[in-house]
């Protein structure tokens, strides 16, 4: 999760300042930079709202540790994920799935694969996946822990692939989600949100 160079707004009392933030989960700190930063006393409580593409992402609260005219370090920090912020996240997972695709010379083919990352619009798959052999559009059957019951979604290869080692089965391919029922999509987004919150909580321990 990249938490560097985030568009941010610093709030203290009636003061509001726009700037850029870098969050370090390992240090439980947030570095805020701007052309002008109010110089505050050590221990002053501030709030920083980070955004991605103008959409509120994380709410950072904590105590001022360092303060100068262009830089402020807040430490330790607590984080809260804004509503719908999960639409901005990609989370690493390891979820078994079954793909169904149309073969070049045969009918429908089924094969096992694994979802290794997912976001609001894409899934990254590995395993028996060969987009260059006709797996451009696939139906993917997935169940726990993403969905409450077995759910089929339609994916289309985005043209992005990453190879690891000599075996093509270790390659990772990015697929776009092109068809999913509204109810199932709500379950999917709840899963991504829960994973994001869990990752943040573990990193802040």
Beta strand extents in 25-89 (DSSP E only): 29-33, 45-52, 55-67, 71-81
2-23 pLDDT, tens digit per residue, is: 799 999 999 999 999 999 999 9
Mean pLDDT across the chain, nearest whole number? 91
Higher pLDDT among residues 119 and 163, named by residue: 119
pTM score: 0.86
pLDDT for res 122? 96
18-40 pLDDT, tens digit per residue, is: 999 999 999 999 999 999 999 99
125-136 pLDDT, tens digit per residue, is: 999 888 877 788
End-to-end CA distance of the chain: 16
pLDDT for res 97? 96
Beta strand extents in the chain (DSSP E only): 6-12, 15-24, 29-33, 45-52, 55-67, 71-81, 90-102, 108-119, 122-127, 137-142, 151-162, 172-179
Nearest Cα neighbor of 173 from 134, 139, 122, 105 is 122
Helix (H, G, I), strand (E, B) or coil at 169: helix
Nearest Cα neighbor of 92 from 195, 203, 3 is 195
* CA–CA distance, 146 with 48 (Å, rounded to integer): 31
139-150 pLDDT, tens digit per residue, is: 999 999 999 999
- Which of the 8 DSSP states describes residue 42? T
pLDDT confidence tier of residue 108, bands split at 50, 70 and 90 = confident
pLDDT for res 28? 94
The CA-based angle 169-114-90, given to 5 degrees, is 115
């Amino acid at each position: 999760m990249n938490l560097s160079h985030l568009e941010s707004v610093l709030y203290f009392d009636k003061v509001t300042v726009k700037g850029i933030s870098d969050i370090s989960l390992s240090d439980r700190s947030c570095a805020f930079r701007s052309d002008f930063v109010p110089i505050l006393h050590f221990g002053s409580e501030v709030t920083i709202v980070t955004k991605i593409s103008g959409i509120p992402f994380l709410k950072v609260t904590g105590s001022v540790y360092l303060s100068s005219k262009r830089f402020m370090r807040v430490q330790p920090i607590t984080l809260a994920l804004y509503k719908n912020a999960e639409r901005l996240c990609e989370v690493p997972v390891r979820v078994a799935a079954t793909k169904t695709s149309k073969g070049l010379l045969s009918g429908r083919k089924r094969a096992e694969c694994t979802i290794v990352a997912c976001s609001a619009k894409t899934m990254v798959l590995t395993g028996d996946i060969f987009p260059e052999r006709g797996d451009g559009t696939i139906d993917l059957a997935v169940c726990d822990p993403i969905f409450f019951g077995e759910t089929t979604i339609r994916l289309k290869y985005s043209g992005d692939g990453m190879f690891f080692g000599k075996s093509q089965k270790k390659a990772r391919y990015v697929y776009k989600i092109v068809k999913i029922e509204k109810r199932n999509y709500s379950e999917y987004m709840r899963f991504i949100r829960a994973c994001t919150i869990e990752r943040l909580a573990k990193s802040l321990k």
